[in-house]
Amino acid sequence: MKSDPATLTDIQRAGRFFYLQKNSFGGLVLKQKFHYGIAQPSNYNPERIPEIIERAHQRLARVQIESLPYEQILEKYDRPATFFYLDPPYWGPKLYKFNFTDIDFFRLAERMAKLKGKFILSLNDRPEVRETFKTFRIEREEISYTAQAKPGKRYGELLITN
């Protein structure tokens, strides 16, 4: 049964989100796909929820979570001792609620050039990415996505650093 999150309390919404993340394919939020297993039981065990929440609490105890455009995050926290990991939408495919245009990537490259802190930016390996970010250090990695239609297929991912 689908419930409208607007009718739930904060705790109920958090529980609903947790359940959906643990049970949807690849943790997809917008286009959830669910799986079932015949040979193997689900790895979802409600008895482990308190342990999982406690571990998340310990890990996030001193973490600052922000929900702002990346430009505001960079402006607010950029210092010589700051390290940023940036994972923008992939160049090209329209996979996200908020996709980037070519101009958005050019602006991102300009902004990254002005950083006082250090960064790693991950993007799909495309000629446009290599050209736009050519003033930075670029390394290619072959990766296999955990949430993919064809398991085992490898993709080129670029790690871009200053």
20 or 59, which is more confident: 59
The reply to whether 45 and 107 lie within a common domain is no
Does the pLDDT value for residue 156 go beyond 90? Answer: no
pLDDT value of position 134: 98
| Structural domain count of the chain | 2
Q: Which residues pair with residue 155 across a beta bridge?
A: 143
- Judge whether 97 lies within some domain: yes
26-50: per-residue pLDDT in tens? 555 555 555 555 556 666 778 888 8
- Judge whether 47 lies within some domain: yes
pTM of the model: 0.69
The reply to whether 153 and 75 lie within a common domain is yes
Q: Could you tell me the CATH number of the domain that includes residue 76?
A: 3.40.50.150
62-109: per-residue pLDDT in tens? 888 888 899 999 999 999 999 999 999 889 988 777 889 999 999 999
106-129: per-residue pLDDT in tens? 999 999 999 999 999 999 999 999
- Does an H or E element contain 140, and which? strand 137-143
Cβ atoms of 159 and 141 closer than 8 Å: yes
The reply to whether 24 and 91 lie within a common domain is no
The reply to whether 87 and 46 lie within a common domain is no
Question: Please, what is the Cα angle at 103 between 118 and 115, to 5 degrees?
Answer: 15
Q: How far apart (Å, rounded) are the C-alpha atoms in residues 158 and 140? A: 5
Question: Residue 157, SS3?
Answer: strand
- Judge whether 37 lies within some domain: yes
The reply to whether 56 and 74 lie within a common domain is no
The reply to whether 85 and 155 lie within a common domain is yes
The reply to whether 56 and 77 lie within a common domain is no
43-69: per-residue pLDDT in tens? 677 888 889 889 989 998 988 888 889
How is residue 64 written in tokens? 């600052």
**Alpha helices per DSSP H over 80-137:** 102-113, 127-132
147: left (phi over 0), alpha (psi -120 to 50) or beta: beta
Question: Residue 145, SS3?
Answer: coil
How is residue 25 written in tokens? 């394919």
Expressed as residue numbers, the domain containing 153 is 70-161
The reply to whether 19 and 99 lie within a common domain is no
